[in-house]
Homo-oligomer: A and B are copies of this chain.
Amino acid sequence: MFYHDGGKLQYPVRVEKPSPLFAKALQQAIGGIQGEVRVCLQYLFQAWGARGPAKYRDMLLETGTEEMAHIEMLATAVALNLEGAPLEQEAAAKDPVVKAALGGMNIQHVIGTCMAAMPVDSEGVPFNCSHVYASGNVAADMLANAMAESTGRMLAVQLWKMTDDPGMKDMLSYMIARDTMHQNQWMAAWEELGGRDNHPIPNSFPQADENQDYNYAFMSFGLGDDFEPPAGEWTKGKSFDGKGSNSMVKMRPLGEKPQLGAAPSSTAAQKGQMKD
């Protein structure tokens, strides 16, 4: 169960120079695939389905609860950036640059929400919950979370560069810091869980049942006399998981061209595709 703190914000949000265009960009941090709706639901669904040691469930619940507060901050920031947006034709008609700005903003902020945030990305595409990655495997989930926070921090960094509003820079500086922590947190958990010894995920499947000829072979599909397969830690020495030795293989097909045969008469194929 959850509580709110009377609507108080986790960190202050202020906007000195409202910008409808920046409001549109901020939407990516709410409803984009790198955004807060995603991580909030992702951590909570991971928590609610967690099986095994309780502390991972608890940690996920903690940070999922924090992300809710981040959506709240960003939604407030969007609403504040929309103050004074050119909602009506009078202003726009007078000034072609205002008109162009109107074209640049998310026009639904004017005509659909009375100047409020929506759970959509910077191009107006609604967030789709298929991006809530919760595999039930705690190691895989830690990687998913570290990745989400990495792209989340990239996004916050770009938004920080895009604005010179002191209030927005301050809020984003806080959010970038939280992304730093969260990246570290998920990778620390990944390490505590065994780190590289965790791999290959899932570690509960007996590797003896996988094809032993190709599980540590980097395959090259490149042609051309001047093409050299890319060498690196993945083509030589011990594998990352320490369980195999890397090699490099120039690929050729092991299977034949498939033969699906004629279409049965029970399908809606053309006559020429059927046996007779």
Taking the closest CB of chain B, its distance from the CB of A128, in whole angstroms, is: 5
Smallest CB gap from A46: residue in B: B116
Residue tally, chain A, CB below 8 Å to B = 198
A111's contact among B28, B111, B117, B196, by CB below 8 Å, is which? B28
User: Which residues of B sit under 8 angstroms from A53, Cβ to Cβ?
Assistant: 272-273
Query: 1/0 per position for A123-159, CB-CB distance to B under 8 A?
Result: 1111111111111111110011011001101110111
Taking the closest CB of chain B, its distance from the CB of A192, in whole angstroms, is: 4
- Contact present for A132 and B119 (CB under 8 Å): yes
User: Which residues of B sit under 8 angstroms from A239, Cβ to Cβ?
Assistant: 184, 188
- Contact present for B135 and A143 (CB under 8 Å): no
Most B CB contacts (10 A, CB to CB) among A8, A114, A262 go to: A114
Q: Given contacts A198-B270, A266-B87, are A254 and B210 in contact (CB under 8 A)?
A: no
User: Which residues of B sit under 8 angstroms from A232, Cβ to Cβ?
Assistant: 55, 59, 188-189, 192
- Contact present for A210 and B48 (CB under 8 Å): no
- Contact present for B62 and A10 (CB under 8 Å): no
User: Which residues of B sit under 8 angstroms from A24, Cβ to Cβ?
Assistant: 103, 107
The 6 closest A-B CB pairs, nearest first, are A103-B104, A114-B136, A49-B116, A123-B124, A52-B273, A9-B255
- Give 16 A-B contacts (CB < 8 Å), ordered by A residue: A1-B8, A1-B221, A5-B224, A9-B254, A51-B115, A51-B269, A76-B260, A80-B260, A111-B155, A136-B268, A150-B200, A154-B202, A157-B202, A180-B216, A183-B199, A185-B240
